[in-house]
């Protein structure tokens, strides 16, 4: 990229996907050995899957809790946390599709998990009690925690067919951004894959970082090919 990506007066909206956590040892979804390997999405990541077999769903998410618990942020996560620090105030906003907590471990603060987060559970009967922090592993149906109302606790994760979280805040931050940076997402899941098209309407500069072009590559002004952990530290210096 000829000139610097970010200028001191910019407002930066960042969208991340599974690719940013790949260098931390967490598999992406669509890689051959990806997260879905061995599980059909519809068997572990839909409300129907939960109705059919809550034990299998909790075994899937317990395995992901175990992996995420051991994982550490990589230079890409840290570069974003440092950019937030340098821009300061509300000039930086991070929306992640990831349910791991590596952005928080790296020090990011102004962020939302639009697809939920691994270390929170909520009442499967939606009795009204708020979601609660939960790092336990549930490998059998009998061991699954119960809500005060008696219903099973479910992962606080947005499954296919469910409404993503914080959409109003995300739309508001996207409207105000002058730069949109997208890192490590294949652009195959909606509404996240639409965000770059929304940013195009505001005239924001739109940059993708990843080893291969995403499905919505034509919507970007710049595509920087490479691994996030190798590219982001250099890319995010401010003019
Ligand atoms: C909804 C939580 C209504 C679970 C997830 C329009 C058209 C078609 C279909 C739909 C549509 N609208 C809605 C749908 C249905 C569906 C959908 O999109 N289906 C797809 C399959 C076609 N969407 C929904 O159901 C959504 N809900 O639409 O509700 C609504 C809409 C708007 C407003 C209100 C209501 C809910 C979808 C959320 C599902 N839950 N995650 C869990 O984690 O277990 S989605 C899950 O998959 C992730 O969160 C992520 O979003 C997606 C995976 O994608 P990526 O993160 O991109 O990962 P992937 O493996 O695909 O790619 C990795 C990338 O990283 C690659 O590009 C690779 O090159 C790159 N990479 C690899 N290594 C590196 C790297 N990059 C950088 N550095 C590296 N080192």
Tell me the C-alpha distance between 169 and 61, whole Å: 27
Q: Tokens in use for 27?
A: 């598999």
Of 15, 16, 18, which is best to mutate to test ligand 1, by the most ligand atoms within 8 angstroms of its C-beta? 18
pTM of the model: 0.96
- 18-57 pLDDT, tens digit per residue, is 999 999 999 888 665 555 556 777 779 999 999 999 999 9
Is a pLDDT exceeding 90 seen at residue 4?
no
Return the ligand 1 atom nearest residue 98 CA.
49
Ligand 1 contacts CB of residue 29 (under 6 A): yes
Contact 60, 42 (CB under 8 A): no
Is a pLDDT exceeding 80 seen at residue 226?
yes
The dihedrals phi and psi of 224, each to the nearest 5 degrees, come to -100, 110
pLDDT score of 1? 52
Tell me the C-alpha distance between 56 and 60, whole Å: 6
pLDDT score of 223? 96
- 145-189 pLDDT, tens digit per residue, is 999 999 999 999 999 999 999 999 999 999 999 999 999 999 999
Q: Which residue's CA is minimally distant from atom 34 of ligand 1?
A: 163
Tell me the C-alpha distance between 129 and 72, whole Å: 31
Evaluated on CA atoms 95, 96, 101, 103, the torsion sign reads negative
Quote the DSSP letter at residue 131.
Answer: P
């Amino acid at each position: 990229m000829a000139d610097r990506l970010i200028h001191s007066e910019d407002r930066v909206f960042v969208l991340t996907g599974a690719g940013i956590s790949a260098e931390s040892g967490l598999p992406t979804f669509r890689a051959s050995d990806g997260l879905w390997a061995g599980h059909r999405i519809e068997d572990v990541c839909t409300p129907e899957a939960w109705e059919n077999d809550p034990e299998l769903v909790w075994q899937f998410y317990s395995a992901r809790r175990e992996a995420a618990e051991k994982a550490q942020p990589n230079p890409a996560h840290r570069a974003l946390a440092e950019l937030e620090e340098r821009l300061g105030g509300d000039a930086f906003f991070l929306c992640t599709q990831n349910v791991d907590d590596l952005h928080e471990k790296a020090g990011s603060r102004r962020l939302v998990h639009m697809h939920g987060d691994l270390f929170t559970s909520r009442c499967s009967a939606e009795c009204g009690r708020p979601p609660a922090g939960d790092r336990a592993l549930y490998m059998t149906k009998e061991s699954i925690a119960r809500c005060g109302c008696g219903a099973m606790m479910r992962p606080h994760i947005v499954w296919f067919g469910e409404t993503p979280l914080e959409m109003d805040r995300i739309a508001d931050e996207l409207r105000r951004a002058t730069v949109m940076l997208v890192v490590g997402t294949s652009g195959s899941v909606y509404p996240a894959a639409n965000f770059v098209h929304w940013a195009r309407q505001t005239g924001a500069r739109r940059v993708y970082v990843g080893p291969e072009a995403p499905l919505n590559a034509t919507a970007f002004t710049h595509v920087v090919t490479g691994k996030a952990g190798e590219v982001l530290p250099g890319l995010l210096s401010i003019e």
